[in-house]
Amino acid sequence: MRTNYRSNYELSSAVTFEAVPARFAPPPGSPAAALAASPAYLLTKLGAESSRRYRQRLAPFDLEPHHARSLRFIASADGLSQQALADHLGLARSRIVVLLDELEHRDLVKRRRSPFDRRAHALHLTPKGVRVLQQVIGASREHEDQLCAPLDPKERAQLTSLLQRLEEGTHATDPPPGTQ
């Protein structure tokens, strides 16, 4: 494991997880063995490595994952409001303004007055934004194919189904709004 302690945020992207050879496997019944068999631990470990690799795939486009998610959602809901994008991404209004400023500065997104509400902006991909999104989608497919390479198609479909159920279940246990 390679570590670089720049900041807590960067730590997750600076840690590289490698498979532990069997000779270093924790003894059966030990706390380390229990951790290694924990789905939450394995998802966290895999998520950190997947995130690191995905950032590498997006680097040639000078984009971060939140940029890619924004482009995908804007493309799928052309004309949506900044607030709708913020809600979908789970970002604060102040952060969505900064994110859209970045995308607009790169000529990937255009904000126009909403035809339904003069106080709101409708979001649209520019032609350059559409081209970059197509490249990002290709890089995302390559990333997924590399990540899921050890699985056959049936196992991949099963994993996807199980992960979707887990993701849906996290929303069922969210506290009601305003109670946190």
User: How many other C-beta atoms are found inside a 10 Å radius of the C-beta of residue 11?
Assistant: 13
The model's pLDDT over 122-154, given as tens digits with 9 standing for 90+, comes to 999 999 999 999 999 999 999 999 999 999 999
Distance CA 13, CA 57 (A): 13
Q: How far is CA 1 from the centre of its chain?
A: 23
Greater confidence (180 vs 49) lies with: 49
Amino acid 11: pLDDT: 38
126 lies in which domain range? 66-134
The total of structural domains in the chain comes to 1
Q: Name which of 153, 136, 68, 152 is nearest 102 in CA terms.
A: 68
Q: What is the pLDDT of residues 46-74, one digit of tens each?
A: 999 999 999 999 999 999 999 999 999 99
pLDDT at 15: 43
- Distance from C-alpha of 121 to C-alpha of 115, rounded to nearest angstrom: 9
Residue 87 lies in a domain: yes
Q: Nearest 5°: phi and psi at 125?
A: -75, 145
Instruction: Give me the residue label for tokens 């400023």.
Output: 101
- Angle between helical axes of 82-89 and 93-105 (0-180°, round to 10): 110
| Residue 91 tokens, joined | 């970002």
Residue 120 lies in a domain: yes
pLDDT in tens, 59-112: 999 999 999 999 999 999 999 999 899 998 888 888 999 999 999 999 999 999
- Asked if residue 139 belongs to a domain, the reply is no
Quick check: is 154 in a domain? Answer: no
Q: Is residue 99 part of a domain?
A: yes
Q: Name the β-bridge partners of 111.
A: 123
pLDDT at 175: 62
Report if residue 59 sits inside a domain. no
Compute the average pLDDT of residues 6-30: 54
Q: Are 108 and 73 in contact (CB under 8 A)?
A: no
Per-residue model confidence (pLDDT) at position 16: 47
Question: What is the average per-residue pLDDT within 154-175?
Answer: 86
Helices (H) and strands (E) in the chain, counts: 8, 2
pLDDT at 34 over 90: no
pLDDT of residue 23: 58
pLDDT at residue 17 in the model:
46
CATH number of 94's domain: 1.10.10.10
